[in-house]
Structure 1
Amino acid sequence: MNNREIGCLGERIAESYLVQMGYTILERNFRQRGGEIDIVAQDDGTICFIEVKTRTGDAFGAPSEAVDIRKRAKISHMAMAYLYKNKLHNRPCRFDVVEIWLSGQSGEVKRINLIKDAFDFV
């Protein structure tokens, strides 16, 4: 699998996992000029902007380490666009990260970690 296929697989796995955890999926791959949010969901009345990071090994550290300050700023900007577009200005929101580790190229899930409230607006 190439990186794009791994990323798409990770997003599908994350979506299924989030539904099992009680989230309601509102939108997948919300795109506007300037970026994308992997998953927008609702958890107990809170709008969650979710970044999914998938890895097949530990060579580059934990998946969440890839959500650096620049990525956080881009996600924050996209979250504001989503809230504005959907007239959700007064709703509580947060940023979550789903880390997924896959077993080599087989695509078998080794581990999933949900980090709620992983960062604040940048």
Structure 2
Amino acid sequence: MHSYKKEVGNLGESLAESYLIQNGYIILDKNFRCKQGEIDIIGKDGEYISFIEVKSRYGNLYGTPGEAVNFVKQYKIYKTAEMYILKKKLHKFNFRFDVIEIVLNHKNDDFSIKLIKDAFQI
């Protein structure tokens, strides 16, 4: 089961990266990890550094992918973003937290993608 979830996650992150680039983001980092957690994609969108959580699913049976980004997950992303900002000395920038929802289709290679800018604040 773990490998299936990882495979879906990797596919989602690849689709999200392409989508972000097509929409003018500059990708700064991917899969940034520290003891606080992980951030899927870090990108620059205009004047903002955006910390992006990618959630991919097959269908909405258990809610939208973005609903999985609960307060505990948001807090981990926030703490990880703090470490990234410190490590990269990015204090002068504006920051926000975005979520990308990807719903994949079992029957074909079709998918839907939704970018939620400024999805949460801590």
What TM-score, normalized to structure 1?
0.94
1:105 deviation in Å? Answer: 6.9
- Offset from partner CA, 1:12-65 (integer Å, 9 cap, x none): 000000000000000000001121000000000210000000010111110000
CA distance in 2 between partners of 1:42 and 1:7 (Å): 22
Please list every run of 5 or more consecutive structure 2 residues that lacks an aligned counterpart in the other structure: none
Equivalent residue letter for 1:70: V
Instruction: Give the Cα separation in 2 of the matches to 1:30 and 1:113.
Output: 22
Distance 2:87 2:73 in 1: 21
Task: Tell me: CA distance 1:109–1:83, structure 2 relative to 1, closer, same or farther (3 Å).
Answer: farther
Q: What is the distance in 2 between the residues matched to 1:61 and 1:109?
A: 19
Identity of aligned pairs, percent? 50
Q: Tell me if 1:109 matches 2:110.
A: yes
- Give 3-state SS (helix, strand or coil) of 1:2's partner: helix
Q: How many angstroms apart in 2 are the aligned matches of 1:43 and 1:68? A: 24
Q: CA RMSD in A?
A: 1.3
The reply on whether 1:98 has 2:107 as its aligned counterpart is no
After alignment, is 1-10 or 22-31 more displaced?
1-10
Q: Distance in 2 between matches of 1:99 and 1:9?
A: 12
Structure 1 residue 90: Cα displacement: 1.9
C-alpha distance 27-105 of structure 1, shift in aligned 2 (>3 A): farther
Q: Is the 8 A contact 1:22 1:43 kept in 2?
A: yes
The aligned length equals 120
TM-score (norm 2): 0.94
State whether residues 55 and 101 of structure 1, in contact with CA within 8 Å, keep that contact through their aligned partners in structure 2. yes
Structure 1 runs of 4+ aligned residues shifted over 4 Å read none
